């Protein structure tokens, strides 16, 4: 553990173990590694987990990144969440790609807090007046929605739209990434099969 171990030894007893230890004596704090994460237990029996695979003292990573492997059609004047069907990673079990809610990134138990939400999509031939992207918390149309309005002028080519924000969420909340378009007819949001990629990520800060 290097410098961190030296700091730990300066004020507490360090122990590397795979089970929880007994409560230490009065005025003592025991620091130990269990399941690859750094823990402390004080003389009152209070256990605190600090994360840290490999004992480096950093926080456990929580986050997921998903993408669209094929196209998804968005009808005229419709607001549709992207239904993700592939992933780059999912640390914490946020995604439900094969389940009933493939559009959702759900915050795991005990992992509420501030997250960076990022959304990029490609849409075919956006010749009409407006394409809108949304980051929605527990649905769309609420006061917590984030959105960006875009008025692309390209014709005959796909256009890329990006939206990102920092959002505060609770355990059990879900985050959606959605597209609304009013270009005059149905449009495809393009997936990886077309050489363009529509993707989103949600990563916990700290």
Q: For the domain that residue 140 is a member of, what is the CATH number?
A: 2.60.120.40
The count of structural domains within the chain is 2
Q: Is residue 57 pLDDT above 80, yes or no?
A: no
Map tokens 């290097």 to a residue: 2
Residues 69 and 138 in one domain: yes
Per-residue model confidence (pLDDT) at position 169: 93
Q: Which residue segment(s) compose the domain that 36 sits in?
A: 3-55
Q: Which residues contact 37 (CB under 8 A, 6 or more apart)?
A: 49, 50, 51, 52, 53, 60
The reported pTM is 0.67
Residues 27 and 122 in one domain: no
Per-residue model confidence (pLDDT) at position 12: 42
Tell me the average pLDDT of the chain. Answer: 78
Residues 19 and 117 in one domain: no
């Amino acid at each position: 553990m290097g410098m961190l171990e030296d700091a730990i030894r300066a004020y507490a007893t360090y122990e590397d173990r795979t089970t929880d230890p007994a409560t230490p004596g009065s005025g003592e704090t025991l620091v130990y590694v269990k399941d690859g994460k750094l823990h402390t237990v004080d003389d009152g029996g209070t256990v605190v987990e600090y994360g840290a695979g490999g004992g480096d003292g950093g926080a456990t990573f929580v986050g997921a990144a998903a993408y669209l492997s094929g196209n998804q059609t968005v009808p005229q004047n419709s607001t549709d969440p992207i239904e993700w069907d592939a992933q780059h990673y999912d640390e914490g079990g946020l995604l439900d790609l094969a389940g009933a809610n493939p559009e959702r990134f759900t915050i795991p138990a005990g992992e509420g807090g501030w997250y960076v939400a990022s959304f990029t999509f490609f849409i075919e031939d956006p010749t009409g007046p407006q394409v809108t992207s949304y980051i929605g918390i527990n649905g769309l149309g609420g006061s917590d929605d984030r959105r960006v309005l875009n008025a692309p002028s390209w014709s005959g080519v796909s256009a890329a739209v990006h939206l990102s924000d920092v959002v505060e969420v609770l355990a059990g909340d879900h985050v959606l990434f959605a597209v609304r378009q009013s270009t005059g007819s149905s449009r495809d949001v393009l997936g990886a099969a077309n050489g363009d990629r529509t993707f989103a990520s949600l990563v916990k800060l700290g």
